[in-house]
């Protein structure tokens, strides 16, 4: 079967005019006269995501139910993956051909990696159905690996390395402003570390959080992993400064930080075990639900840099959506992908963890239904700060606006070489020059592989 246009692809899927016009911005021609799947021709779509808190699952189930009601004969099954384990899970799926139809909330560098290996269906038709004009300007640029072809799209934005602060603890320590430099951060953490409360919850385990955090620190020191032309640039004074500072912070982190990943780091701040945090806006909903006494005292700023002369660098993993090329029922798959941006369901999904995943559509950010949320109202300044930081954010797959896309970024992150670099320097006290040299060679090997 040929699939020349999205109109052909979704001709067997019934989507209401309300959803088409309000949710996807699709043309009348696209939705004109769709035929309904016969009840006996049941089609099953599989949706994978590592984002699966109870609130998010509730939102997903709402979206699934609405889509199934409008499309008798289609069943959507949600399947949870893992932030740390999605790579082997997807590798096995691609190898066997038993792939999910939709994958959401993986970082953009994973998408570029899969695209470069010919494993993904172009997402152009879905973006066209949603309405390109609804996205923030440049929102899909990171997915345009090959000119004119989009490997996927964003399901949202994130500001993953915000510095979370306890205003009450800052006041008790006679600190009158948020830290802007590493020296100020370390001094603040040291002043607030008392009474069983540690200064920070930085990770030191061999996992993706340690990897992505140290990459951010290299940029916060004024460095970069690659040059804009993707030549190795790791061996620099900035990398040394980042590792030295990271090592200096170990005494200000809980003993268990050697095993921290995203969940443990977040919990440390939310529970009150640390005076600062490093995470996305999920901290807001978690604090309000799990530790209300500190809810009026939390705020966030962009993470401090080595000096005021160095610009901030926000890690945005660009939570994505993509479609494996081998997915079955491509017509229904693309229709469901476009439907996930329908305002009613998309806003509910974003409200599942307000401020955690931020809208990728400007029309949603401006929607009164999105704004009508207790957390977003209460922390409007923090949400605005995160939104601005995320909009200007980057990751290893696209380090700066001057950089070429790095389709090997996912493989580099998955290899754990950065986390191993941290452990060798901080936990083993290995020679820092030797470690950086070894890490650079390992990365070069991955780039050539």
Task: List pLDDT tens digits, range 27-40.
Answer: 322 222 233 444 45
> In the CATH hierarchy, which fold is given to the domain comprising 6-158+317-391?
D-Maltodextrin-Binding Protein; domain 2 (3.40.190)
> Is 162-315+406-448 assigned to CATH 3.40.190.10?
yes
Mean of pLDDT values over 4-32: 37
Q: Do domains 6-158+317-391 and 162-315+406-448 have the same CATH topology?
A: yes
pLDDT per residue over 174-186, tens digit each?
A: 999 999 999 999 9
Structure confidence at residue 432 (pLDDT) = 98
CA dihedral 336, 340, 345, 348 (to 10 degrees): 140
Structure confidence at residue 155 (pLDDT) = 95
Please, which pLDDT band fits residue 150 given cuts at 50, 70 and 90?
Answer: very high
Give the closest residue to 210 by CA, choosing from 273, 261, 266, 282: 261
Burial of 265 (0-12, 13-18, 19+ CB in 10 A): buried
Rounded to an integer, what distance in angstroms lies between the CA atom of residue 316 and that of residue 360?
12
Q: Would the pLDDT of 448 be above 60?
A: yes
Rounded to an integer, what distance in angstroms lies between the CA atom of residue 324 and that of residue 327?
5
Structure confidence at residue 53 (pLDDT) = 87
Structure confidence at residue 391 (pLDDT) = 87
Please, which pLDDT band fits residue 287 given cuts at 50, 70 and 90?
Answer: very high
pLDDT per residue over 60-117, tens digit each?
A: 999 999 999 999 999 999 999 887 778 889 999 999 999 999 999 999 989 999 999 9
Question: How does DSSP classify residue 231?
Answer: -
Mean of pLDDT values over 229-248: 98
Structure confidence at residue 339 (pLDDT) = 98
- The region of weakest confidence among 54-58, 99-103, 201-205, 267-271 is 54-58
% of residues, the chain, pLDDT over 90: 83
Structure confidence at residue 190 (pLDDT) = 98
Structure confidence at residue 308 (pLDDT) = 96
Entry field: residues in the chain: 449
Q: Would the pLDDT of 255 be above 60?
A: yes
Structure confidence at residue 303 (pLDDT) = 98
HEC profile of 302-349: ECCECCCCCCCCCECCCCEEECECCCCCHHHHHHHHHHCCCHHHHHHH
Q: Would the pLDDT of 437 be above 80?
A: yes
Structure confidence at residue 39 (pLDDT) = 45
Mean of pLDDT values over 39-50: 85
Mean of pLDDT values over 3-9: 38
What are the extents of the domains in the chain?
6-158+317-391, 162-315+406-448
Structure confidence at residue 52 (pLDDT) = 87
Please, which pLDDT band fits residue 13 given cuts at 50, 70 and 90?
Answer: very low
Q: What is the mean pLDDT of the chain?
A: 90
Q: Would the pLDDT of 5 be above 50?
A: no
């Amino acid at each position: 079967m040929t699939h020349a246009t999205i109109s052909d692809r979704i001709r067997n899927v019934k989507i209401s005019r309300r959803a088409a016009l309000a949710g996807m911005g699709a043309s009348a021609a696209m939705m004109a006269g769709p035929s309904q799947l016969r009840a006996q021709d049941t089609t099953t779509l599989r949706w994978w995501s590592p984002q699966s808190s109870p609130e998010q699952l509730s939102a997903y189930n709402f979206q699934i139910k609405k889509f199934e009601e409008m499309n008798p004969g289609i069943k959507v099954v949600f399947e949870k993956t893992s932030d740390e384990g999605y790579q082997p899970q997807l590798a096995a799926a691609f190898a066997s051909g038993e792939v999910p139809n939709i994958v959401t909330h993986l970082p953009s560098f994973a998408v570029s990696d899969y695209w470069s290996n010919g494993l993904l269906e172009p997402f152009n038709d879905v973006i066209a159905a949603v309405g390109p004009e609804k996205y923030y300007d440049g929102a899909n640029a990171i997915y345009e690996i090959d000119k004119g072809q989009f490997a996927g799209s964003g399901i949202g934005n994130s500001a993953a390395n915000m510095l979370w602060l306890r205003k009450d603890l800052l006041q008790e320590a006679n600190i009158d402003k948020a830290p802007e430099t590493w020296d100020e951060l370390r001094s603040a953490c040291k002043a607030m570390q008392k009474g069983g409360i540690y200064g920070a919850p930085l990770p030191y385990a061999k996992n993706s959080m340690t990897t992505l955090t140290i990459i951010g620190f290299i940029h916060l020191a004024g460095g970069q992993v690659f040059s804009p032309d993707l030549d190795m640039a790791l061996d620099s004074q900035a990398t040394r400064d980042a590792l030295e500072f990271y090592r200096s912070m170990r005494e200000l982190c809980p003993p268990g930080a050697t095993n921290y990943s995203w969940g443990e780091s977040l919990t440390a701040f939310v529970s009150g075990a640390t005076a600062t945090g490093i995470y996305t806006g999920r901290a807001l909903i978690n604090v309000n639900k799990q530790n209300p006494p500190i809810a009026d005292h939390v705020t966030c700023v962009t993470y401090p840099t080595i000096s005021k002369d160095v610009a901030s660098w926000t890690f945005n993993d660009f939570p994505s959506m993509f479609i494996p090329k081998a997915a079955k029922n491509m017509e229904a798959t693309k229709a469901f992908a476009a439907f996930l941006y329908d305002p009613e369901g998309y806003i509910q999904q974003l409200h599942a963890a307000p401020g955690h995943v931020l809208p990728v559509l400007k029309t949603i950010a401006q929607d009164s239904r999105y704004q009508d949320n207790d957390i977003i109202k209460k922390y409007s300044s923090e949400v605005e700060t995160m939104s601005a930081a995320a909009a200007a954010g980057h990751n290893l797959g696209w380090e700066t606006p001057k950089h070429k896309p790095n389709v090997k970024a996912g493989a580099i992150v998955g290899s754990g070489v950065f986390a191993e670099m941290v452990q060798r320097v901080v936990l083993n006290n290995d020679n820092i020059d030797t470690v950086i040299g070894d890490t650079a060679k390992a990365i070069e090997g991955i780039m050539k592989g």
